[in-house]
Amino acid sequence: MDSDSSDNESNFSGFESDDLPLADLIDSDDEFDDSDKENESVVEDENWTVNDRSDRSKKAFCGPEPGPRFDLDPDQTEWNFVEMFFPMMLVELLVEQTNLFARQKMEIKHDKSWRPVSVKEMMAWLGIRIYMSIVQLPQMAMYWSTDILYGNFSVRRIMTRDRFMKVLQYLHCNDKTKMKPKGHPEQDKLFLIRPFLDVVKKMCLTLYNPHRNVSIDEAMVKFRGRLGFRQFMPLKPARYGVKVWVRADPVNGYVNDFQVYTGKDANTAEVGLATRVVLDLSHELRGKWHIVNVDNFFTSPKLFDELLKQETYARGTVRSNRKGYPVKQLGKKTVKTQGDFVFATKGEQLASVWMDKKAIYTLSTAENPKDIDATVLRKTRSGEVHEVQAPRTIPEYNQNMNGVDHADQMRTEYPTFRTSRKWWTYMFFFLLDTAITNGYVVMRESPFHQQKSRNGKPKDRTVLDFRMNLSRQLIGDYCDNGSAVAKLATVKAGHFPGQAEKRGRCRQCAKEKRRRECHVICLECQVHICVPCFKDWHVDLANSM
């Protein structure tokens, strides 16, 4: 069982103040009393102008048409779509590295039960893992249980439990003997997963044109074992794990780009971490006037200025004590009741404070002050829905900030990962699940793969349908020759029960030292077998072949 370690590295608890760009924060005590300026319609101070509705038109989006950069033929299957993000070269590399790791281990201690895995077998193994993500049982061994309530005939037919677990035991993605030691200037903390990480990331980035709005946020890959860059995020569903910065499409949850956070180096804070992450993940968006949506961890006037230089707009919630934010003009006392808002402009930047249940601070370069007025829906205590006035940044942010959450929902609804002591296996299955969900999004948008119901109306393709078909395609006609059920299929036809004239002792009961007589015989074997033992007799027969 994985457990929390007392090791200092494993107790890293997310971001502390030293990890944040300190130059972007000012003392929260520096909020000012704005009560003497509430009645003024326009106030200028430090280049910020309050409530100025002058027209500041925005550039039109000039990126390529959003959507897949290719069209697959109508006869292409779910696997063909996933294969574009997780190509066969990765399956072949997985086979190569798994067999290599097994040979390295057997130089120390021989394992007579191991035989090299093939590409076809690895495909079937991955297909079983995807099947397990759909039909979830608490323990992996239960899929091979003889209990009719839990056991699964299909899995037993494909691969034996021992073989499945043996492949899992030696599963590997990179040659560990070539990994640079800790402290080496060329150390790669992600070496064990690096080849797969680079390929999947590249495919996600190049195979789909994002919509104008994109969202950048953090995702957590669940892991509770010992790891130097493990994070603790108390508000996330997976509180412990590896943090991954993700850029995703809010329209469909497609993951465009991602970056694994491996912590700070040499015990020094990374200056400008939030700014660096956003600029890295938005690098491919330059010059197209995309709109990047971020939360208050990232948002700052400095970052939004940098994005404007790259011809990229941005919007997000913001901490009121960010350096450069007009907290003097937009203090809490400027808004009192729900729906009140005040805004200030400085060049292309538009800052606002809006009173909902509490004061909400935002910053945007994507909104025009001329069209600032908007509404959002809110419920009263009696349950009635009514409109509340809000700056346009609020509904636009709510609509376009959910890309990463949407991607997480699709990825974790049927997760392929299982409990493991190895952190990199969680990352491997994160990459596999990301490839699956991206393949699903692309297939759903493919003009040649639209589904229709019986009455001819469009029918939406579900993640469940996609994974079920993908699992079947990966498994194909593979059948492990070591499986008892597979051997049973080789027993020639004609093994049916029949009625004997005389009673005889059941051969299966006799093997198990029970005395039972019956009139039932197997017409092919010509031996007495009682009905409860009929299946067991023939499974044993198959095992002896």
SS3 per residue for 159-213: CCHHHHHHHHHHCCCCCHHHCCCCCCCCCCCCHHHHHHHHHHHHHHHHCEECCCE
291 and 363 housed in the same domain = yes
175 and 128 housed in the same domain = yes
Domain-ending residue, one of 443, 475, 507: 475
* Inside any domain, residue 481: no
497 and 439 housed in the same domain = no
Strand partners, 318: none
State the sign of the Cα–Cα–Cα–Cα dihedral 119, 124, 128, 131: positive
Detail the DSSP E strand segments found in 175-312. 208-209, 213-222, 231-232, 240-248, 255-260, 291-294
Residue 411 one-letter amino acid: R
Please provide the DSSP assignment of 387-421 as one string.
EEEEETHHHHHHHHS-HHHHHHHHHHHS------S
Domain-ending residue, one of 406, 425, 444: 406
What span, in angstroms and rounded, lies between the C-alpha atoms of 154 and 140? 14
Q: pLDDT per residue over 80-135, tens digit each?
A: 999 999 999 999 999 999 999 999 999 999 999 999 999 999 999 999 999 999 99
Kindly report the number of other CB atoms within 10 A of residue 451's CB atom: 11
Q: Count of residues for the chain?
A: 545
How many structural domains are present in the chain?
A: 3
318 phi, psi to nearest 5 deg: -145, 150
Residue 336 one-letter amino acid: K
- What pLDDT, on a 0 to 100 scale, did the predictor assign at position 474? 95
* Inside any domain, residue 2: no
For 196, the token pair is 């797969």
What span, in angstroms and rounded, lies between the C-alpha atoms of 278 and 291? 12
> Cα-atom radius of gyration of the chain, to the nearest Å?
30
Question: What torsion, rounded to 10 degrees, do the Cα atoms 289, 290, 295, 297 define?
Answer: -60
End-to-end distance of the chain based on CA atoms, in angstroms? 39
* Inside any domain, residue 72: yes
Residue 417 and residue 268 in contact, taking contact as beta carbons nearer than 8 Å: no
47 and 81 housed in the same domain = no
Strand partners, 389: 375
Kindly report the number of other CB atoms within 10 A of residue 112's CB atom: 6
* Inside any domain, residue 482: no
400 and 418 housed in the same domain = no
520 and 450 housed in the same domain = no
SS3 538: helix
Beta strand 213-222 with 291-294 is parallel
Strand partners, 158: none
Residue 527 one-letter amino acid: V
Using the structure block, give the residue that is written with the tokens 């804070």.
269
What span, in angstroms and rounded, lies between the C-alpha atoms of 356 and 359? 6
* Inside any domain, residue 105: yes
Write out the residue range of the structural domain in which residue 516 sits: 491-543
pTM of full prediction above 0.75? yes
442 and 453 housed in the same domain = yes
174 phi, psi to nearest 5 deg: -155, 155
220 and 284 housed in the same domain = yes
Domain-ending residue, one of 347, 374, 406: 406
Residue 126: Cβ-neighbour burial (10 angstroms; 0-12, 13-18, 19+): buried
What span, in angstroms and rounded, lies between the C-alpha atoms of 2 and 439? 32
What span, in angstroms and rounded, lies between the C-alpha atoms of 339 and 356? 6
The stretches in the chain having pLDDT less than 50 are 1-45, 267-268, 484-490
Residue 55, CA atoms < 13 Å, CB-side half-sphere:
2
What span, in angstroms and rounded, lies between the C-alpha atoms of 178 and 341? 58
Residue 501 and residue 521 in contact, taking contact as beta carbons nearer than 8 Å: no
Detail the DSSP E strand segments found in 261-404. 291-294, 313-317, 341-346, 349-355, 359-364, 373-379, 385-391
From residue 440, give the alpha-carbon distance in Å to each of 68, 462, 469.
Answer: 12, 8, 11
* Inside any domain, residue 485: no
460 and 444 housed in the same domain = yes
Strand partners, 374: 390
What span, in angstroms and rounded, lies between the C-alpha atoms of 43 and 342? 11
369 and 255 housed in the same domain = yes
Rounded to an integer, what is the distance from CA 99 to the centroid of its chain?
28
* Inside any domain, residue 94: yes
498 and 509 housed in the same domain = yes
What span, in angstroms and rounded, lies between the C-alpha atoms of 215 and 494? 63
47 and 170 housed in the same domain = no
Residue 414 and residue 463 in contact, taking contact as beta carbons nearer than 8 Å: yes
Strand partners, 138: none
Buried b (16+ CB within 10 A) or exposed e, 332-353: bebbeeebbbbbbbbeebbbbb
